[in-house]
């Protein structure tokens, strides 16, 4: 077996990426499951609880259960080591987690996807329209005179914008090109099709209890599907202590 600290070389030519190279990488990633680093390196089985043990214990606390620890009191043993507080099943932890979950749901329910095209052609088109609309507002007297003569100048279509602030607000929040409108509807379809309120609620609960959460994205019959992964089924690159996994090189899950 490969040591947990020895990652196979990643910067190798394509010709060197043979079956053995892939096998070693799979072993390296799989061995990251249920491992945790401390300041001196990876924990041994004789040391503190592993991540999965800690996660399961947090889940049992939420359910109002605790294994054989109801009679631990604030005291000292023969070696003058302090023992933990007695734990009383009053469902206070459950109430606190549910309260935090309720606050998160309020934010989740207000999620509204926004889309902005970033292609050069689209940005150029928007800038041109913005400059023409701004010119109409600045030279309002000329525009009104042209309207009286039967010449209409409407760079924003049917929108009647009277001030620079109205134009800027409309461009930022309301105006969309056809491609942006399609992307907006696609984003909304992905959210509602996946019942995002229920799934994000589930994800936030897992995050509170387990400390980590995974959301798997995959395509099924041409549609994007999101599934929430239980914290104790996750494999992630924990080589670097980073809460956001910004330097993680891989992530996966244990599955049948």
pLDDT tens string 158-209: 777 778 888 888 888 788 888 888 988 888 888 888 888 888 889 999 998 8
Helix (H, G, I), strand (E, B) or coil at 59: helix
Residues 137 and 153: beta-carbon distance below 8 Å: no
Residues 6+ apart with CB under 8 A from 210: 55, 58, 59, 230, 231, 232
Let me know the angle formed at the C-alpha of 226 by 238 and 199, rounded to the nearest 5 degrees: 90
C-alpha dihedral sign at 122, 126, 132, 133: positive
DSSP string, 42-57: EPPTTSSPPHHHHHHH
Phi then psi for 41, rounded to 5 degrees? Answer: 120, -165
| pTM given for the model | 0.64
pLDDT of 101 reads 84
Helices (H), the chain: 19-30, 51-62, 92-109, 120-138, 140-148, 164-173, 178-193, 196-210
- Please list the pLDDT of the chain residue by residue as tens digits (256 residues): 445 557 899 899 999 999 999 999 999 888 888 886 654 455 555 555 788 888 888 888 888 776 655 454 445 556 666 655 555 555 677 888 888 888 888 888 888 888 888 888 888 888 888 888 888 888 888 777 877 777 777 777 777 777 888 888 888 878 888 888 898 888 888 888 888 888 888 999 999 888 888 999 989 888 888 899 999 999 988 777 777 888 888 888 988 7
């Amino acid at each position: 077996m490969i040591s947990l600290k020895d990652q196979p070389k990643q910067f190798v030519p394509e010709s060197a990426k043979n079956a053995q190279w892939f096998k070693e990488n799979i072993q390296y990633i799989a061995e990251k499951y249920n491992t945790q680093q401390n300041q001196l390196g990876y924990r041994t089985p004789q040391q503190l609880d592993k991540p999965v043990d800690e996660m399961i214990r947090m889940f049992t606390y939420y359910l109002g259960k605790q294994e054989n620890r109801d009679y631990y009191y604030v005291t000292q043993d023969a070696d003058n080591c302090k023992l933990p507080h007695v734990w009383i099943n009053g469902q206070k932890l459950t109430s606190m987690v549910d309260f935090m979950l309720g606050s998160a749901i309020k934010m989740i329910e207000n999620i509204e996807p926004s889309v902005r095209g970033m292609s050069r052609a689209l940005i150029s088109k928007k800038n041109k329209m913005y400059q023409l609309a701004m010119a109409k507002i600045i030279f309002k007297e000329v525009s009104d005179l042209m309207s009286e003569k039967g010449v209409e100048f409407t760079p924003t279509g049917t929108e009647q914008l009277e001030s620079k602030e109205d134009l800027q607000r409309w461009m930022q929040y309301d105006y969309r090109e056809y491609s942006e409108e399609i992307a907006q509807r696609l984003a909304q379809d992905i959210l509602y099709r996946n019942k995002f309120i229920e799934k994000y609620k589930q994800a936030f609960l897992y995050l509170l209890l387990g400390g980590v959460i995974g959301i798997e994205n995959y395509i099924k019959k041409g549609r994007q599907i999101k599934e929430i992964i239980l914290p104790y089924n996750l494999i992630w690159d924990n080589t670097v202590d980073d809460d956001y996994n910004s330097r993680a090189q891989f992530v996966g899950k244990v599955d049948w």
